[in-house]
Amino acid sequence: MHITLIIFLVIICIPVVWLLFVLTVMKFIRKIYPFPIPQFFTNFIDNPIRRKFWQNPDEIAKRIGAKPGDVVVEIGPGKGSYTKAVARKILPGGRVYAIDLQKPIIDRFQKKLDEEGITNIFPSIGDAYNLDFDDNSVDVIFLITCLPEIPEPVKVLKEFKRILKPNGTISLCELFIDPDYPLRKTEKKWSQEAGLILKEEFGNWFAYQLNFGK
Ligand SMILES: C[S@@+](CC[C@H](N)C(=O)[O-])C[C@H]1O[C@@H](n2cnc3c(N)ncnc32)[C@H](O)[C@@H]1O
């Protein structure tokens, strides 16, 4: 076999086929047993390659469009790289409420914020289905690779609609290598069913971001 073909197979085809196989198996397992992504896995998904090439935190924060003074809610902050990028954009005066189901994620994030002296992010344990915010009180809600792992996304989007201000934004970001990755049209369908209106869309099939209003 020609040497270039062998190199092509080894460097490109084999890893791609392997990745697709692993993703398919993980997708299948998660369909049968849905569970929140455990803490150790958030270290794996929030990595430098993703932040540099696929989902850059500053770029995502810019597209979200939060302004100084805004009240922001994030569901599923993970390691918090995206939370911190948005929190920088809303200074002075803005606050990000970072809510996650899992105590280890919240405890680790709070420790990191204390070490770094960041005071406008407020992590707390909570469930996206019932958010402790008044109607029409939040400027921005954002989720990065989180909505598709929630079993009833439309119900959660309706809860977001309840707390969102009339001119507020809900921003959803997805990445192909997430085992729960939904097609863009699926996420648009969920949002439509929840009564949301698409305002802007960014990215490509591999990594996309959708902004909705109500
Ligand atoms: C895949 S991680 C994403 C982490 C981070 N946003 C990132 O992209 O690196 C999804 C997170 O959403 C949280 N989560 C899942 N369902 C939730 C729910 N119903 N309410 C709040 N958080 C939830 C999980 O605990 C997990 O930490």
pLDDT in tens, 120-166: 999 999 999 999 999 999 999 999 999 999 999 999 999 999 999 99
Instruction: State percent of the chain over pLDDT 70.
Output: 93
Tell whether ligand 1 has an atom less than 6 A from the beta carbon of residue 171.
Answer: no
Q: What is the spatial distance between Cα 54 and Cα 104, in angstroms, rounded to a whole number?
A: 26
Q: Are 56 and 175 in contact (CB under 8 A)?
A: no
Tell whether ligand 1 has an atom less than 6 A from the beta carbon of residue 123.
Answer: no
The Cα-based distances of 214 to 2, 45, 162, 167 in angstroms read 58, 31, 9, 7
CATH number, span 36-213:
3.40.50.150
Give pLDDT, residue 1: 61
Give pLDDT, residue 4: 72
Give pLDDT, residue 8: 66
Tell whether ligand 1 has an atom less than 6 A from the beta carbon of residue 149.
Answer: yes
Nearest residue (by CA) to ligand 1, atom 12, is 76
Q: DSSP states of 105-116 as a string?
A: HHHHHHHHHHHH
Atom nearest to 50 CA in ligand 1: 9
The Cα-based distances of 135 to 64, 101, 125, 130, 212 in angstroms read 21, 22, 20, 12, 17
Cα(12) to centroid of ligand 1, in Å? Answer: 31
Q: Are 94 and 68 in contact (CB under 8 A)?
A: yes
Tell whether ligand 1 has an atom less than 6 A from the beta carbon of residue 210.
Answer: no
Give pLDDT, residue 9: 67
Q: What is the spatial distance between Cα 184 and Cα 99, in angstroms, rounded to a whole number?
A: 24
Q: Which residues of the chain have pLDDT under 50?
A: none
